[in-house]
Amino acid sequence: MEEDGHYRPEIKAHSLEKIRRHNFYSALFSKSMRKKWANRVYIGLYAGAGRALIQPGSELVETSAVSVFRQEVPFTKYIFVDSDRRCIDALRARIDAIPAAFDVTLIHKEVNCAVPDIVRAMPRFSPATGEGMISLCFVDPFRVDLNFEVIRQLSRYTMDFLVMLPLGYDLRRNLRHYLTADVDNRVAALIDSPNWREEWRKSREPDRHFVRFILKKFDKKMETLGYRQRKWEDTVTVKVTGMGVYLYSLAFYSKHELGEQFWKTTIAGTEPQYDLGL
């Protein structure tokens, strides 16, 4: 891929796995839902610039916010949120350069403050027309800084969530900090559990089970919103390329069995990494 003169952050090779899984699922979702749902909304939280440079090696690749436009059946509306002005400007330029017209809203904001903007951008339609609306939200933060309230509010729509949980990147590396620094409430906000430290201590689990503990808490919270109980083996675990070091988990949540089946198809169709490995 040639440089286009717009901002492109640097990423590591392991990010490609996440992008591949995302591309497969979003294409399957929109294609399969086309007949039943006239309105299909894609939301990209922590959207990025649409292109990135893989380091080491300097290969230029398309990232999720642009690759989602390459699929056979497009969504009918796209909403992206990123707090970095350079990402928003570059993404706008790249979407404008695609030779087709799409309905796109770009929101330059912190994700945790962006729900009112997202709601304003969501299509208005009358259920009386029998049209219906279904959405897919890809949540892709660098660090643990997502407030669960964002998910809670968006879950009022018919919406599936594909969530990247950077539990190795950030949490496992900084475990002592998170466990001792009562001032840091990011984990509490992510899993919506102010008393998580107490629960963790009571569990008497070894540190190596911490990621699983947080992931299970997140799953339970999703279940309180009506999402199906996720099968543990459906977690995609991403590790440092060529090494066994855990980086993050990619978890999918749907209220419908069909969504779960699509995710299984995605995992099978985007091998090689499919394991529990936590």
Ligand X SMILES: C[S@@+](CC[C@H](N)C(=O)[O-])C[C@H]1O[C@@H](n2cnc3c(N)ncnc32)[C@H](O)[C@@H]1O
Comparison of 114 and 222: residue with beta carbon closer to ligand X: 114
Rounded least distance, CB 162 to ligand X, Å: 11
Residue 194 CB, shortest distance to ligand X, in Å, is: 21
Tell me the DSSP string of the chain. ----SS---EEETTHHHHHHHHHHHHHHHHHHHTTT-SEEEEEEES---SEEEEETTTEEEE-HHHHTTSSSS--SEEEEEES-HHHHHHHHHHHHTSSS---EEEEES-GGG-HHHHHHHSPP--GGGT--EEEEEEE--SSS---HHHHHHHTTSSEEEEEEE-IIIIIITTHHHHHH-TT--HHHHHHT-TTHHHHHHHHT--GGGHHHHHHHHHHHHHHHTTPPPPPGGG-EEEE-TTS--EEEEEEEE-SSHHHHHHHHHHHHHT-S------
For ligand X, the closer of residues 12 and 231 by Cβ is: 12
Q: How far is the CB of 214 from ligand X (least distance, A)?
A: 18
Binding site for ligand X (CB under 6 A): 15, 19, 46-48, 52, 63-64, 81-84, 87, 110-111, 140-142, 145
Shortest approach of ligand X to residue 87 CB, angstroms? 4
Residue with smaller CB distance to ligand X, 74 or 141 = 141
Q: 87 or 215: whose CB is closer to ligand X? A: 87
